[in-house]
Chains A and B, each alone.
Chain A
């Protein structure tokens, strides 16, 4: 038998249906590999191996009985620990939710179960999805499989490494400012942030509700299309999910897009972009030209305000969303909340309990963002900061609307640099924020963004190409990206892990 852990979901499905391999053998192979590599990489926060094997066996039994099976039957899937799974630990990378077991499944989890997928584990992440390196996890950092002294990106670092290191063929992450695309780029895989409203957020633990979106990680675009098709669609439990038809993303993937007008974003090639990344992206542009694309330079003049707008909007929403963690209904409660200073004597015990519980339950980045958001929304400052950020958000969206009058997709680098070293940016929050400068604006505008592998640095680290399309144009986005994927072999590179 060929090692199934070097495959893709689409190929594994074909091999299962032709009887070459069973679902149990596939799950067993991935589980064994995770057993071996997880101690080094720290991908999984929770695994239930027996349950996964039982799910796989059930698929095999139903296949043998001639039952009809779902589109992911027998495919192992890793899940970012920000998504609620009924009765199973869901920590969000936080001490706050260390012993939380959700009373329901997120809608995307229900859809995976209905598609007969095998859930192999919950993956590590920056606490409450706040971070770009997975170093903000309360459970230790995840390591980049291409160089274990480096970060995998974040916040969905665990789900990115699960796929990059072949601990699962596909996985789910969430992306609020780049948390799928940035780790996908730094780990050499494909990551998609769908349009806002394309995928239900019910059961996705909220960080910034106007920006959060669930999306897939995979080795190639066929698997991206397959998984997106399973999770997309309107959900009555999420009123921001949009009732537009879900196209057959996989069925149309290999049909070249009717129009191939590619825009290069001028503002993405400025100061701070590593020359090796720039060279790889320029080469990708040549690949498109050779494929017959019309390439033109376009401008998104407000790009440089994306970071500042994001770091007001996201913390403001986070400070509101995370107010629910107060030690009363669920989550961590401090044992000792007695007053420590004369000033604290005047604070009622209930409030002191909340303050102590939150102080113990949250890590530094989460506290920083809660305070920043609280400040930005506080009386006297809301107009100057938060409302100004929402107006700039409109300007950023208008930039995209204007650009998409002339082109079908925009391309540029996903990240300014390749994966950095563990610890390199942990003491400088602002430097960490700048690793998301090219991904943040798509969340503010609500449009889809995709990162695909497009090269390697001289030191052997992956480089990502970002493609963006108008809202709900995922089909165009995937088909356009497929033109590049077919012409290159970057997506087939695997890190040299034993």
Chain B
């Protein structure tokens, strides 16, 4: 298995990363090396093995559904890169 430059371009788009041409070159080489390294896992027969998502398997932790204070608007907006008095501002989504 090896990744072509076009596939890396596609992955970068999915990952929302704009790559410079030289980055694309470097990352393609490095990602291929890493993919080759992780491909060792294919040697193992894992047919009957149940995947393990967490080291300590805790599931279905419930709590009472109670109302509590939420973050005040000003605190929530304080770190916004662009805002007005009540909203986060982003580039136009609709034409």
Residues of A in contact with B (beta carbons under 8 Å apart):
99-101, 103-104, 195-197, 210-211, 236, 239-240, 242, 302, 304-305, 307-309, 311-312, 319, 323, 326-333, 337, 347-359, 362, 364, 367-368, 370-372, 374-376, 378, 384-385, 387-395, 397, 429-430, 433, 443-447, 471
Q: Measured between C-beta atoms, what is the minimum distance from B73 to chain A in Å?
A: 11
Assess the B30–A103 pair: CB atoms within 8 A. Answer: no
A359 to B15, CA, bound (A): 10
Question: A residues within 8 A CB of B19?
Answer: 359, 367
Assess the B53–A390 pair: CB atoms within 8 A. Answer: yes
Question: B residues within 8 A CB of A397?
Answer: 52, 55
Assess the B40–A242 pair: CB atoms within 8 A. Answer: no
Assess the A395–B27 pair: CB atoms within 8 A. Answer: no
Q: Which residue of the partner chain B has the closest CB to A103?
A: B75
A375 touches which one: B3, B18, B37 (CB < 8 A)? B3
Assess the B56–A101 pair: CB atoms within 8 A. Answer: no
The interface size of chain B toward A, counting residues with CB under 8 Å, comes to 53
Query: A329-B88, A359-B18, A446-B54 are known contacts. Are A308 and B79 too (CB-CB below 8 A)?
Result: no
Query: A371-B17, A395-B49 are known contacts. Are A239 and B58 too (CB-CB below 8 A)?
Result: yes
Residues of B in contact with A (beta carbons under 8 Å apart):
3, 7-8, 11-20, 23, 26-27, 30-31, 33-35, 37-42, 44, 46, 49-56, 58, 61, 63, 71, 75-76, 78-82, 88, 90-93
Question: A residues within 8 A CB of B3?
Answer: 375
Q: List 26 A-B contacts (CB under 8 A).
A: A103-B75, A197-B56, A242-B58, A302-B44, A305-B41, A308-B37, A308-B38, A308-B40, A312-B41, A352-B18, A352-B91, A355-B16, A368-B30, A368-B31, A372-B34, A378-B14, A384-B42, A390-B52, A390-B53, A392-B41, A394-B51, A430-B30, A430-B34, A446-B55, A447-B55, A471-B56
A197 touches which one: B38, B39, B51, B58 (CB < 8 A)? B58
Main secondary structure on A side of the interface with B: helix
Query: A368-B30, A374-B11 are known contacts. Are A328 and B88 too (CB-CB below 8 A)?
Result: yes
Assess the B16–A444 pair: CB atoms within 8 A. Answer: no
Q: Which residue of the partner chain B has the closest CB to A198?
A: B56
A447 to B52, CA, bound (A): 14
Assess the B41–A388 pair: CB atoms within 8 A. Answer: yes
Assess the B38–A367 pair: CB atoms within 8 A. Answer: no
Question: A residues within 8 A CB of B39?
Answer: 308
A101 to B74, CA, bound (A): 13
Assess the A394–B49 pair: CB atoms within 8 A. Answer: yes
Q: Measured between C-beta atoms, what is the minimum distance from B34 to chain A in Å?
A: 6
Question: A residues within 8 A CB of B58?
Answer: 197, 239-240, 242
Assess the A319–B81 pair: CB atoms within 8 A. Answer: no
B56 touches which one: A362, A433, A446 (CB < 8 A)? A446
Q: Measured between C-beta atoms, what is the minimum distance from A437 to chain B in Å?
A: 12
* 15 more CB-based (< 8 A) A-B contacts, given A304-B40, A392-B44: A196-B55, A197-B58, A210-B55, A242-B58, A305-B44, A311-B34, A352-B91, A355-B18, A357-B81, A359-B17, A364-B26, A371-B11, A371-B17, A390-B53, A430-B33
